[in-house]
Amino acid sequence: MNVSRRWLEAFLRRPLDSADVARRLAALGATVDAIEPLHPGLEQVVVALVREVRPHPNADRLRLCDVDDGSGTPRHVVCGAPNVTAGKKYPFAPVGSTLPGGLTLEKRKIRGEVSEGMLCSARELGLGQEHDGILELTTDAAPGTSFLAVADIADDRLVVDVTPNRPDLLGHKGVARELAFSFGGTFRLPAVPGSDGPAMPTPLRSGAEASTGGVRVAIEDAVGCPRFLGAVLRGVRVGASPEWLRARVEAIGMRSINNVVDATNCVMFELNQPMHAYDVSRLKGPAVVARRARPGERLTTLDGADRPLAGSMTVIADAESAIGVAGVMGGAHSEVTPETTDLFLECAYFEPQGVRATRRQLGLSSEASYRFERGVDLWNGPEVLRRAVEIIQATAGGSLDGDPVDLFPQVSHPPRIFLRPARVTQVLGVEVPWDAIERYLVAIGATVVSKPDDGRIAVDVPGWRPDLVAEIDLIEEVARLHGYDNFPTELRPFRVGDLPSAASEGIDGRLRQGLVAEGLFEVQTLPLGPAAGAESVRVLNPLSAEEGYLRARLLPGLIRRVEGNWAAHIRDVRLFELGTVFLAGEVGSPPREEHRVAGVITGAREPAHWSASGKSPDVDLWDLRALFESTAALAYPGATVQVEGGEWVAHAPGGQVIGWAGVASADAPPWAAPVLGFELLVESSPRSAPRFEPLPVNPAVTRDLALLVPAGIAAAALGDAIRKSAGRLIEAVEVLDEYRGAGLPAGHRGLAFRLRYRAADRTLRDQEVDASVTKVLTVLREQHGIELRAS
Amino acid sequence: MAESHPQSLLDALRPRLAAVAGLDADALEAEQIAVLGRKSGALTALLRSLAALPPEERRAVGAAANELRQAFEAAFEARAAALAPAAGAAGAAGLDLTMPGRRRWVGAEHPVTRVVEEICEIFHGLGFNRAIGPEAETEWMNFGALNFPADHPAMDMHDTFYLDVGGDARPGDGKAVLLRTHTSPVQIRTMLAGPPPYRVVIPGVVYRKDPFDPSHAPVFWQVEGLAVDEGISFVDLKGTLLHFARQFFSPTTKVRFRPSFFPFTEPSAEMDVSCYLCGGDGCSACKGTGWMEILGCGMVHPKVLENCGVDAERYTGFAFGMGPQRIAMLRYGIPDIRLLFEGDMRFLAQLGRAR
Ligand SMILES: [Zn+2]
């Protein structure tokens, strides 16, 4: 909401400082996002007296002027305006000043004559469109006086961030009410120049139908339009707005159109009630009816667009067809034009949700729809209409034809709320004195109907505060006007809750620690991306097609981040992410969410070091396998890693697949190393504590076996076979070495295993171990055809 | 003139003696000149000035000054010997110990994670346990239960992503499925899980349909908190959040509360903290105001309590929410939120070392 400082000053009858106003409003809950000085660039413009005017020797339409700008040095100015007259005063832009249009004045020659500055027209000063000549000033001010001081046009536009619960602050009156409280003063509507005061009789209250000035007025859709006021003004002269009205409309950032349209806009920004003026001669009937749109009905709105209407929309119609979309925009056909002489003025209440639905359906927002959506004052129509009639009569003349009408089929009143001072204390933590509570409620325009004899106060809330519907709403008002900073700030004793912390948080912490210790950096990527398989969940209203689906895996996002690092010529990349993936759930239900961890590593295994001549081998699959297994152990208790289809797959104890590791495909530059990645489901139930096992007290005995292994036999299978045949004394079987190369039969490789034996209760004797090794070798030879490698 | 008295000059020089053992070669040379330099050494000048003192004092101070000079000389000599190139090379087995050590890759948590953890830890100390919840929710959980009036302009503050989950639910009917626009649905889940008191802090990712720009992202982190019990008031809200601000920013941080609007709290407030870069004098980080907007908060709206089956006459509470990404950007001076999503190793390493 744009607010004019001068307009507020007119309400409060006192000069205001914009920064001070912003501070006061912020303390009351309305943040001022910006303070924009109007008429920037006029600071250097001064009042100047033209002493003499002579013809220009080389140009018929130019004149030479001697100008007194108060500097003591007469200025020679070449002027093209026909109205420049010796002895009169004009705004003067000296050399070096910059005008609102961006023009910086220099001393220069025009047709051979020196010109030292410019006498300005209203348009050149950004003060209107008139360009008939330079702006004549009627002032006693001495030459050299600041033009802004004389013209009295200095103003600031305050951009107020109005929260959706406060429609009253969408009008200057509402803002003035807050400031009046802040200053401890009063406020009232600004006087209308040229008016002797409001003269409109009270509108005649009716049900759903009436007539005024020969126009039939009716409500046929009382849901969409619960109240409708109308007046007919005849003999109006549509024309340019007077200076004060144009300044107000432009101060809040609207374009001045004509005195009638400007008057309705002025009322809207003053009282937060959108209005509309129709040309009576264009109304069929003549009639103005609030009804639902008919099937197939269309309307060309004020913006020139032809729009189809839906049966759910409330429209304003004449006897034949729609002439406006209720609360959103009027129609082009019945618009007020310079030829209009007779007006029908509409001041209605349109139901907020209906307006919201309609403007969405039409994709058409306006200042009016913005206000109706948030709720205008249902009970203030007569005052608004009176104000509009006063301004129009003062600026465009005309007289009322008959008494205005007020259709209000189902009369209602603003709600009455009961407030308990004890509840105020309960919520706010300290007692607010009763007289202060009453003062605050009166300041917002409420009526305190009864005193708190029975422990509660009856409060009639004002119609312009549709947000006040329950006791807690009044408590907020008490707190707000009391001042949040005036409440104590204490850390009082508290009880803790019963709910334990979510287990997953601790597990995430351990996963992060583990991966950071492995030299990986945590990243957070966008969980939106392209479709990835049938399980992907689609976003109905994505920002872009590339971000049209929720991620079903973490790895693709990480790989894109690796590619981003490659683009910055970074070869060694180690990243991980903890996050949610989404998989389609049951029809109509939220998707299934899985909490996962994923990691990628590529490039050097270690930072280069001089001891290895600055070389470090790249990470390979064995680095990945270890990283995968250690992460799986943290992410999912009891997880096992198996080889399936040439990749590693992690299984939960129940057999469910919970993870994957392998080489990831990426869009890699030629110098990049392969990208190795893994992804794992994180089991988020609390972990059971590990159990202590007694540490061994007896020494172990180890034996190394170098085996000649034919193709097709996996190391893991061989290890299992050794473990099974070695008897109960075997403690561990580890792969020690792999050899492929010269000296082996074709298709064979050498595998060395280290067997570790131990007995819990005694020191092992060599004979026992030798017997076991012999048995192992027998089994390997007889069942697997594997021999010891000749050494 | 106490400063220039020989005794106080002597006292001022003493701490510098111990520091000699940590100087590198360049600093050592400079310090030697500064203390014992023939022309302008502090101790040299002091010794020279002794002549002007009365004999008694001259003797006492002179003895101490000479003692100190000897100590300095010894320290400079020892330090020079330790730094001699030969000493480096003469380490164990003739190695050059100035050669760089063998490093390992060092990873780091994401800066936003660190901020989230810190926030949660501070509230944990105030009795708040952690709660989490799903990121896809029904409209009712995200809006309705939190007292957003159906189809109201208040919803415009939350530009929402809706999901295609099949079925006949439509945006606006309460059953439609969306990506949560705040972590507040977890407040509802917490209260539905059991009776008060509740005291939880809720970290999580939320979604709004805002395209990326330097200060907006379609996905961002939030940390919310909820405290509900008998006797909890606006005073507790202010006290708790001031305590948080002083723990998180600095012990001298000031806070300011301004009225605001959220459908699920009433009274609602925005909390500003005094700018921790300029201390409130005004700088570019706080746009000259001296204040930084950090979090939204308020007393839990009775409707929200009732929607969760909590007796709103008996129980009251407060809730608050903040954006750790914004806080991380302010704290580390990160100019563009997109840097937090790009996974650039240099960025992550830089902030991984920061604290
Ligand atoms: Zn600052």
Alpha carbon distances (Å) from B145 to A76, A353, A540, B189, B226: 74, 19, 23, 10, 15
Query: How confident is the model at residue A501, as a pLDDT?
Result: 80
**Cβ of B273 under 8 Å from any chain A Cβ?**
no
How far separated are the first and last CA of chain A, in Å rounded?
91
The b/e string for A79-111 (b: 16+ C-beta within 10 A; e otherwise) is bebeebeeebbbbbbbeebebeeeeebeeeebe
Which neighbouring-strand residues pair with A329?
A: A325
Q: What are phi and psi of B211, to 5 degrees?
A: -65, 155
The pLDDT of residue A769 is above 90: yes
**Alpha carbons A607 and B105: distance in angstroms, whole number:** 6
Non-local (6+) Cβ contacts of A136 within 8 A are A83, A85, A88, A89, A90
Nearest CA in chain A to B240: A491
Number of H helices, E strands in chain B: 13, 10
Least CB-CB distance to B233: which of A428, A497, A579? A428
The pLDDT of residue B128 is above 60: yes
**Alpha carbons A701 and A754: distance in angstroms, whole number:** 10
The pLDDT of residue B1 is above 70: no
**Cβ of B151 under 8 Å from any chain A Cβ?**
yes
Q: Name the pTM for this structure.
A: 0.86
**Alpha carbons A255 and A49: distance in angstroms, whole number:** 32
**Residue B341, Ramachandran bin (φ over 0: left; ψ between -120 and 50: alpha; else beta):** alpha
The pLDDT of residue A229 is above 70: yes
More confident residue, B113 or B150: B113
Nearest CA in chain A to B152: A353
Alpha carbon distances (Å) from A785 to A586, A715, A717, A722, A735: 53, 14, 13, 13, 19
Closest-CA distance of chain A to residue B95, Å = 12
- Dist. CA B119 → ligand 1 center (Å): 21
Binary contact (B126, A585; C-beta < 8 A)? no
Per-chain mean pLDDT for chain B:
89
The pLDDT of residue B2 is above 50: no
What the block records as the tokens of A183 is 């200053």
Binary contact (B177, A591; C-beta < 8 A)? yes
Binary contact (B343, A353; C-beta < 8 A)? no
Closest-CA distance of chain B to residue A622, Å = 17
Q: Do B338 and B217 meet the contact criterion of CB atoms below 8 Å apart?
A: yes
Binary contact (A472, B301; C-beta < 8 A)? yes
**Which chain B residues are closer than 8 Å to A501 by Cβ?**
124, 129-131
- Dist. CA B274 → ligand 1 center (Å): 8
What is the enclosing helix (H) or strand (E) of B78? helix B55-83
Q: What are phi and psi of A731, to 5 degrees?
A: -110, -40
More confident residue, A787 or A270: A270
Least CB-CB distance to A516: which of B109, B164, B205? B109
**Cβ of B243 under 8 Å from any chain A Cβ?**
yes
**Cβ of A666 under 8 Å from any chain B Cβ?**
no
Least CB-CB distance to B267: which of A31, A476, A497? A476
pLDDT tens, A339-377? 999 999 999 999 999 999 999 999 999 999 999 999 999
- What average pLDDT does this structure show over B88-93? 57
**DSSP line for A332-350:** STT---TT---EEEEEEE-
- Among B47-61, B106-120, B327-341, the minimum mean pLDDT is found in B47-61
Per the listing, tokens 């912003």 go with A22
**Alpha carbons B182 and B177: distance in angstroms, whole number:** 14
**Alpha carbons B344 and B346: distance in angstroms, whole number:** 6
Return the top range by mean pLDDT from A194-203, A232-241, B11-20.
A232-241
**Which chain B residues are closer than 8 Å to A520 by Cβ?**
105, 107
Residue A504: closest CA among A581, A640, A595: A595
**Cβ of A541 under 8 Å from any chain B Cβ?**
yes
Alpha carbon distances (Å) from A165 to A91, A252, A371, A424, A538: 45, 21, 11, 21, 34
Query: How confident is the model at residue A278, as a pLDDT?
Result: 95
Per the listing, tokens 């108060």 go with A70
Residue A695, amino acid? L
Longest dimension (CA), chain B: 105
Query: How confident is the model at residue B174, as a pLDDT?
Result: 84
- Among A135-144, A181-190, A516-525, A652-661, the minimum mean pLDDT is found in A135-144
pLDDT band at B355; cut points 50, 70, 90: very low
Q: Do B337 and B217 meet the contact criterion of CB atoms below 8 Å apart?
A: yes
Binary contact (A588, B165; C-beta < 8 A)? yes
Query: How confident is the model at residue B158, as a pLDDT?
Result: 73
Query: How confident is the model at residue B92, as a pLDDT?
Result: 58
CB atoms within 5 A of ion ligand 1 belong to: B 275, 277-278, 283, 285-286
Reduced to 3 states, what is the DSSP secondary structure of residue A718?
helix
Alpha carbon distances (Å) from A370 to A32, A165, A223, A378, A623: 19, 12, 19, 16, 61
pLDDT band at B3; cut points 50, 70, 90: very low
Query: How confident is the model at residue B89, as a pLDDT?
Result: 54
Q: Do A692 and A775 meet the contact criterion of CB atoms below 8 Å apart?
A: no
pLDDT tens, A95-142? 888 887 778 888 888 888 888 888 888 878 877 666 678 888 888 888
The pLDDT of residue A11 is above 70: yes
- Dist. CA B280 → ligand 1 center (Å): 6
pLDDT band at B151; cut points 50, 70, 90: confident
Q: What are phi and psi of B270, to 5 degrees?
A: -105, 135
**Which chain A residues are closer than 8 Å to B199 by Cβ?**
494-497
Per the listing, tokens 């070389």 go with A615
Report the percentage of chain B scoring pLDDT > 70: 95
Binary contact (A429, B137; C-beta < 8 A)? no
How far separated are the first and last CA of chain B, in Å rounded?
43
Count of CB atoms situated within 10 Å of the CB of A397: 16
**Cβ of A589 under 8 Å from any chain B Cβ?**
yes
**Cβ of A518 under 8 Å from any chain B Cβ?**
yes
Q: What are phi and psi of A720, to 5 degrees?
A: -60, -45
Binary contact (A495, B346; C-beta < 8 A)? no
Count of CB atoms situated within 10 Å of the CB of A69: 20
**Alpha carbons B29 and A730: distance in angstroms, whole number:** 66
Binary contact (A570, B345; C-beta < 8 A)? yes
Non-local (6+) Cβ contacts of A471 within 8 A are A417, A418, A419, A420, A423
Non-local (6+) Cβ contacts of A132 within 8 A are A83, A121
**DSSP line for A305-329:** -EEE--TTSEEEE-SSSEEEETTTE
Report the percentage of chain A scoring pLDDT > 70: 99
Non-local (6+) Cβ contacts of A167 within 8 A are A272, A371, A374, A375, A376, A464, A466, A467
Closest-CA distance of chain A to residue B148, Å = 11
Return the top range by mean pLDDT from A39-53, A385-399, B271-285.
A385-399
**Cβ of B287 under 8 Å from any chain A Cβ?**
no
pLDDT tens, A263-286? 999 999 999 999 999 999 999 999
Alpha carbon distances (Å) from A371 to A33, A162, A357, A464, B335: 20, 11, 14, 12, 36
**Cβ of B254 under 8 Å from any chain A Cβ?**
no
- Rg of chain A in Å (alpha carbons): 42
- Dist. CA B290 → ligand 1 center (Å): 5
- What average pLDDT does this structure show over B50-56? 83
**Alpha carbons A631 and A640: distance in angstroms, whole number:** 11
**Which chain A residues are closer than 8 Å to B217 by Cβ?**
526
Nearest CA in chain A to B289: A23
Query: How confident is the model at residue A669, as a pLDDT?
Result: 96
**Cβ of B46 under 8 Å from any chain A Cβ?**
no
**DSSP line for A649-714:** EEE-TTS-EEEEEEEEP----TTPPPEEEEEEEPP-SPPPPPPP-PPP-SPPEEEEEEEEEETT--
**Which chain A residues are closer than 8 Å to B242 by Cβ?**
489, 491
pLDDT band at A746; cut points 50, 70, 90: confident
Least CB-CB distance to B267: which of A352, A479, A490? A479
Alpha carbon distances (Å) from B65 to B5, B21, B59, B109: 13, 20, 10, 53
**Residue A435, Ramachandran bin (φ over 0: left; ψ between -120 and 50: alpha; else beta):** alpha
What is the enclosing helix (H) or strand (E) of B318? strand B316-322
pLDDT tens, A562-586? 999 999 999 999 999 999 999 999 9
Least CB-CB distance to A499: which of B129, B136, B259? B129
